[in-house]
Structure 1
Amino acid sequence: MESYKCCLCFTRKFLWSEAQPPADVRAAFDAHSEGGTQMTADQFRRFLAEAQGDAAVADVERVMEQALELRHRQLFHRKHFKPVFTLDDFHHYLFSEELNPPLRSQVHQDMTAPLSHYYIYTGHNSYLTGNQLSSDCSDVPIIKALQNGVRVIELDMWPNATKDNIDILHGRTLTSPVELIKCLRSIKEYAFSASPYPVIITLEDHLTPDLQAKVAEMVIETFGDMLYYPDSESPKEFLSPEALKKRIIISTKPPKEYLEAKNVKENDGDTKKVQESNEAWGMEVPDLQTELECSDKDEDAVDDGGDDDVDDDDQKVRQSSPLEYKRLITIRAGKPKGHITEALKVDQEKVRRLSLSEQELAKAAASYGLLG
């Protein structure tokens, strides 16, 4: 016996349901249609003048015709009868971006309070053209962000392939880099294209001290007088957006957990606390290859008759905070350029973040004795 599969076709149709007019729209319609079910051109003209403050609309009937054509997708023939709005037509007009667009961008708040009192339109990985794993890095997304009113631009800084310049890219991914200087110049050109209020550049630092000093020189030479220099290292409050118009602010610092851990002395009782605090914010360490090389060198040093009382700290990967770029914005632009490099050079090593996958890999390597 042959078996057959039966295919059922569903022919039930569902009607498109528009959102119901809210109470305030109903109230406005009732008030200006004088309690009727339709709003005439004269009543609509009175609504525009009284409720929206727009008495300059000359051809009200044509506006109503356009609204009806857009909603019903058919031409409105004014020769036969005058246009009228139902409640749904009126609702559609009010929320039509084409016919009744939002108010033009304008400042409607007090902008003289400290900057920290406001929400700030912030970008993240502002340089990426696509996904965070394999897309290109470019200044084009930065330009678009600034044109759309973004006020905070994030730049992830890494040494380039030859270690003599700075690239912007999403670290440890396949993203292709873009030069830092190109991003800085684009920020300068487009920073205030959409708004006169300050632009904050957040620098995520993965650089050596000499490259950090190079960044400082690039920033000062690119922005010049546009850079904001605070009067003190610890101001009581920020200046206002109004006072910071057309200014560029540099922002970067290590996580607070690291700063707290850095101040804890590594004695017998505090070592564990320091380690736990570092792990809490994902402290970065050199990759496995670097760890293996360091481990081999340490073993060779001991085998060659090195000091048996080697300090434990020398066996660990040294940690230090990134360069405090707050020193960059406290250097006055009038100082000779030679002093900039000297002032910014500090003897410290870069901090790198360890992802969860790298943590697991490191643990696995340690369990098999690969790290010495």
Structure 2
Amino acid sequence: MSNQTYKVCFCCRRRFKLTASEAPKEIKALFENYSENGVMTPTLLHRFLVEEQKEEKATIENAQALIDSVRSVVVFHKHGLNLEGFFKYLFGDLNPPLSPELGVHQDMTAPLSHYFIYTGHNSYLTGNQLTSDCSDVPIIHALEKAVRVIELDIWPNSSKDNVDVLHGGTMTSPVELIRCLRSIKEHAFSTSDYPVVITLEDHLTTDLQAKTAEMITQTFGNALFSPEQDSECFKKLPSPASLKKRFLISTKPPIVYHEDKDAKEDSQRGNNSGDEEAWGKEVPSLKSHSQKSKKFEAPEYTRLIAIHAGKPKGGLSEALKVDPNKVRRLSLSEQQLEKAASRYGKEIVRFTQNNMLRIYPKGTRITSSNYNPLIGWMHGAQMVAFNMQGYGRSLWLMQGMFRANGGCGYVKKPDFLLNGGPNGEVFDPKAKLEVKKTLKVTVFMGEGWYYDFKHTHFDQFSPPDFYVRVGIAGVAADTVMKKTKTLEDNWIPAWNEEFVFPLTVPELALLRIEVHEYDMSEKDDFGGQTCLPVWEIREGIRSVPLCSREGIKYSSVKLLMRFQFI
């Protein structure tokens, strides 16, 4: 095809886009119901907000403010909104699916164990788990996204006189610990004021533990929370509200490391128990029996540990026993959790009511992929640790969960995971439950691809063929994906399709939304995605912005959708 022909096609495509951008018939009908003589006055808009958008606290002043905001971008009637203005309001930035005014709105005064916490795994890696560089840059990026738990694997450097951060047993290049600590201090509260937990996977000798303690103390100063400041911290963890702009260290105390190492070598010498991953082990490989007599050295290091990690001797049933006088953190791989959940589901939930549970990816996830976080959340796990280096549907779910509560990195766990039922029974993740709430979703239309995607992989010689996948990620009974029809040759598709989702546990349900462009000969092209916490979705007709694979919001791409709870 000649350049001249291509330009004609490109111009036609633009002309198609401009003429197709108009309100669908459902929106026109609503405007007719809430307008007089083609005008929606502040009084009528207020009635629309209350009756259709379920904004019961909206005032006429709010309606007037919306009208004033829309007036700056479209032609308007002097007494209110015309149809174009009403459509621009519905499909604009002033009408998102989650309320920006809410901010941090959950109770933040409960113990840390009562919250899901945005948690990173191997937070220092720039790419894959085997050969990528270690750096403070991904740590900074994570903190800017409100990740609140940063993991550092600490090892002696090559000369054994200082401390590096690297992924042990791999070809990853190291980064100095002090550099990571300084970057954490500088960027920790750029997005959220709530506490940052640093989990250390410690492979140090005793003298380097003392040196690490000195680095941590000097870097964080008075912002570091340590047990000696609060004698009750091991019985009941402090709250996020009481720890604003504070740092906490979580790792195994040296005495636990040595005892774990000794027990493992004594009982499993030369054998692999299958209970540890290929890497990411929490038992250090550099400790020796000769250090057993030195296990009380470096007391300054032990004093820094606010959340003690460790797995008691014995099987998982022993590890899940609750000590009313001591709060601790237990770590399980995703595989260990799956096995434990089949037998000890209720015991895990009981453990997480007051203790911390961290779940981490299996060692075979070399490409830094992730797993289904709902398995951890439905069992009350606070720290569902994720590789933040890439993208994928699992990571989209993680991003969706932590859009809740103002995006501060802490989301209060549902009451049934904290207090049990009316008779004190513990929530059973495997139980068959009745439908508690039904979410009805209508996908009206979408727009913005022409501007954000016109230089990408879409067919340059005809408009794309879009379809939407919409569904629920949650407990097994609620998890489902559905799909709209494919609309051919349309930059602004109008599907006008409705989907119904019965929910047994709406408190843990995430609404998944994806747009794809049908490709007959190859894999369908990506057109945007987002994930929303169901319990915070605003009812009514909303403008839903879509994000890239990496979770970055597009400048123009969005869907017009209706949400109803019945």
- Asked which structure has the greater CA Rg, the reply is 1
1:132 aligns with 2:147: no
State the secondary structure of the residue aligned to 2:200: strand
Amino acid at match of 2:303: T
Structure with higher RCO (Cα < 8 A, 6+ apart): 2
Number of corresponding residues? 269
- C-alpha distance in structure 2 between counterparts of 1:235 and 1:280, whole Å: 27
From 50, 58, 67, give the equivalent of 1:53.
58
Match of 1:182 in 2: 179
Match of 2:33 in 1: 33
Judged with a 3 Å threshold, the aligned counterparts in structure 2 of structure 1 residues 252 and 323 are, in CA distance, closer, same or farther, namely farther
Match of 1:217 in 2: 214
1:197-230 Cα shifts (integer Å, max 9, x gaps): 2111111112222222211111111112222122
1:211-252 Cα shifts (integer Å, max 9, x gaps): 222111111111122221224598221111122222211111
Amino acid at match of 2:58: G
State the secondary structure of the residue aligned to 1:119: strand
Match of 1:192 in 2: 189
Match of 2:276 in 1: 281
- C-alpha distance in structure 2 between counterparts of 1:201 and 1:53, whole Å: 42
- C-alpha distance in structure 2 between counterparts of 1:123 and 1:189, whole Å: 18
Judged with a 3 Å threshold, the aligned counterparts in structure 2 of structure 1 residues 131 and 276 are, in CA distance, closer, same or farther, namely closer
- C-alpha distance in structure 1 between counterparts of 2:261 and 2:165, whole Å: 29
TM-score by length of 2: 0.38
Match of 1:151 in 2: 148
The answer to whether the 8 Å contact 1:227/1:329 transfers is no
Which segment drifts farther, 98-107 or 201-210? 98-107
Judged with a 3 Å threshold, the aligned counterparts in structure 2 of structure 1 residues 176 and 283 are, in CA distance, closer, same or farther, namely closer
Which segment drifts farther, 53-62 or 208-217? 53-62
The answer to whether the 8 Å contact 2:110/2:238 transfers is yes
1:240 aligns with 2:239: yes
Aligned-pair RMSD on alpha carbons? Answer: 5.2
TM-score by length of 1: 0.54
The answer to whether the 8 Å contact 1:147/1:193 transfers is yes
The answer to whether the 8 Å contact 1:143/1:186 transfers is yes
Judged with a 3 Å threshold, the aligned counterparts in structure 2 of structure 1 residues 265 and 179 are, in CA distance, closer, same or farther, namely closer
Amino acid at match of 2:126: T
The answer to whether the 8 Å contact 2:151/2:198 transfers is yes
1:328 aligns with 2:301: yes
- C-alpha distance in structure 2 between counterparts of 1:105 and 1:51, whole Å: 15
Judged with a 3 Å threshold, the aligned counterparts in structure 2 of structure 1 residues 219 and 261 are, in CA distance, closer, same or farther, namely closer
1:258-284 Cα shifts (integer Å, max 9, x gaps): 967855895xxx668x9565x422487
Judged with a 3 Å threshold, the aligned counterparts in structure 2 of structure 1 residues 264 and 52 are, in CA distance, closer, same or farther, namely same
- C-alpha distance in structure 1 between counterparts of 2:131 and 2:278, whole Å: 24
The answer to whether the 8 Å contact 2:262/2:289 transfers is no
- C-alpha distance in structure 1 between counterparts of 2:31 and 2:225, whole Å: 53
Match of 2:535 in 1: none
Note the 1:279-318 alignment, pairs <5 A: 279-282=274-277
Judged with a 3 Å threshold, the aligned counterparts in structure 2 of structure 1 residues 164 and 260 are, in CA distance, closer, same or farther, namely closer
Judged with a 3 Å threshold, the aligned counterparts in structure 2 of structure 1 residues 62 and 104 are, in CA distance, closer, same or farther, namely closer
> Percent identity among equivalent residues?
48
When you count strand as a share of all residues, which structure comes out higher?
Answer: 2
- C-alpha distance in structure 2 between counterparts of 1:244 and 1:257, whole Å: 28
The answer to whether the 8 Å contact 2:154/2:202 transfers is yes
- C-alpha distance in structure 2 between counterparts of 1:232 and 1:190, whole Å: 29
Which segment drifts farther, 190-199 or 50-59? 50-59
Amino acid at match of 1:99: L
State the secondary structure of the residue aligned to 2:117: coil
- C-alpha distance in structure 2 between counterparts of 1:221 and 1:234, whole Å: 22
- C-alpha distance in structure 1 between counterparts of 2:257 and 2:210, whole Å: 25
1:71-107 Cα shifts (integer Å, max 9, x gaps): xxxxx6658xx85459xx76x85564x2324414622
Judged with a 3 Å threshold, the aligned counterparts in structure 2 of structure 1 residues 257 and 327 are, in CA distance, closer, same or farther, namely closer
The answer to whether the 8 Å contact 2:195/2:245 transfers is yes
Q: Structure 2: 5+ residue runs without aligned partners?
A: 1-16, 18-23, 280-284, 306-362, 365-566
- C-alpha distance in structure 2 between counterparts of 1:224 and 1:132, whole Å: 32
The answer to whether the 8 Å contact 1:64/1:85 transfers is no
Match of 2:467 in 1: none
From 85, 105, 108, give the equivalent of 1:108.
105
Amino acid at match of 2:48: F
The answer to whether the 8 Å contact 1:120/1:152 transfers is yes
Match of 1:141 in 2: 138
Judged with a 3 Å threshold, the aligned counterparts in structure 2 of structure 1 residues 181 and 114 are, in CA distance, closer, same or farther, namely same
From 199, 203, 214, give the equivalent of 1:206.
203
The answer to whether the 8 Å contact 2:134/2:165 transfers is yes
- C-alpha distance in structure 1 between counterparts of 2:182 and 2:172, whole Å: 21
The answer to whether the 8 Å contact 2:31/2:83 transfers is no
When you count helix as a share of all residues, which structure comes out higher?
Answer: 1
The answer to whether the 8 Å contact 1:166/1:211 transfers is yes
Amino acid at match of 1:251: S
The answer to whether the 8 Å contact 2:31/2:40 transfers is no
From 104, 114, 120, give the equivalent of 1:117.
114
CA-CA distance at 1:169 after TM superposition: 2.2
Match of 2:157 in 1: 160
The answer to whether the 8 Å contact 1:257/1:281 transfers is no
- C-alpha distance in structure 1 between counterparts of 2:258 and 2:34, whole Å: 67
State the secondary structure of the residue aligned to 2:241: coil
- C-alpha distance in structure 2 between counterparts of 1:331 and 1:166, whole Å: 17
Amino acid at match of 1:223: F
CA-CA distance at 1:56 after TM superposition: 4.3
CA-CA distance at 1:149 after TM superposition: 1.5
